[in-house]
Amino acid sequence: MQDLYGTTIQARLGVAHRLHSGLAPELGANEAVAGMLAQAGLLQRELSGIMADLDFGSLCSVCGARAGGGCCSSFMAGENDVIQLLINLLAGVCVRILREDGECCFLGERGCLLLFKPMFCLNYNCRHIRQTAGPAPMHRLDQGVGRLLQQQYGLEQLLLEFLRQRGTLTG
Ligand code: SF4
Ligand code: SF4
């Protein structure tokens, strides 16, 4: 039995790695999981394109380079859960702790390590971003985020059901 809701991000990451080590071949051969993961990847790339059009990279890197300037804090790291970390591992992301300071442990020199982020991270845009982008691009961004979050949610439910059927979950 696995506890998906460990108190620390290190504990959750440990569970995600154990699930991945034990189940990756089986999950990779599961057509429903593979199909949903592939579609999530498409939607993630679509969202990355929208964010690149809005020049989020330079806006956020200037901000994040200032002491206490960015929004990826260690508190935000707590929004990551086991299944969403497992999805990143299944997608080939080498998920690991990159730092142990006041910033999110998944924030690297080139931004967030994760392809599939928590809902709170995907939904958050500061006032600076919103004002710089304007209403129409923000609407396009919101639609892209919505599509990806819906896909992530569906994939999470599928994985939870898979784990339940195997008796891997406590709840
Ligand atoms: S979303 Fe806003 S606060 Fe967060 S890093 Fe980007 S510019 Fe800075
Ligand atoms: S976007 Fe990534 S680096 Fe930033 S808080 Fe969320 S998980 Fe951490």
Determine the pLDDT at residue 70.
83
4 assigned to some structural domain: no
In angstroms, what is the span from residue 97 Cα to ligand 1's centroid? 21
Per the confidence metrics, is the pTM higher than 0.85?
A: yes
Which residues contact residue 115 at a Cβ distance below 8 angstroms, ignoring those fewer than 6 apart? 41, 44, 88, 91, 93
How far is Cα 102 from Cα 129, in angstroms, rounded to an integer? 22
pLDDT higher for 58 or 127? Answer: 127
Backbone angles phi, psi at 112, to 5 degrees: -70, 135
pLDDT category at 6 given cuts 50, 70, 90 is low
pLDDT category at 116 given cuts 50, 70, 90 is very high
Determine the pLDDT at residue 81.
95
Token digits of residue 167: 């008796």
Ligand approaching nearest to the C-alpha of 126: 1
Q: Count the Cβ atoms, other than its own, within 10 Å of residue 104.
A: 25
170 assigned to some structural domain: no
Instruction: Indicate whether 87 pLDDT > 90.
Output: yes
169 assigned to some structural domain: no
pLDDT higher for 47 or 6? Answer: 47
Ligand 2: residue whose CA is nearest its atom 4: 72
Best of 59, 81, 106, 113 to mutate for ligand 2, by most ligand atoms within 8 A of CB?
A: 106
Q: Look up the domain containing 54 and give its range.
A: 9-162
Using an 8 Å Cβ cutoff, are 15 and 8 in contact? no
Instruction: Indicate whether 2 pLDDT > 80.
Output: no
CB of 104 sitting under 6 A from ligand 2: yes
168 assigned to some structural domain: no
CB of 72 sitting under 6 A from ligand 2: yes
128 assigned to some structural domain: yes
Determine the pLDDT at residue 97.
97
Q: Quick one: which of 125, 121, 127 has its CA closest to 140?
A: 125
Q: Domains in the chain: how many in total? A: 1
Of the candidate ranges 49-53, 84-88, 108-112, the one whose mean pLDDT is the lowest: 108-112
Q: Quick one: which of 27, 132, 138, 43 has its CA closest to 83?
A: 27
Cα 87 to the chain's mean position, in Å?
8
Determine the pLDDT at residue 102.
87
94 assigned to some structural domain: yes
Q: Scanning the structure block, which residue is given the tokens 């620390």?
A: 8
61 assigned to some structural domain: yes
Q: Scanning the structure block, which residue is given the tokens 């898979």?
A: 162
51 assigned to some structural domain: yes
Query: What are the pocket residues of ligand 1 if the criterion is a CB atom closer than 6 Å to any ligand atom?
Result: 59-60, 63-64, 70-71, 125-126, 128-129
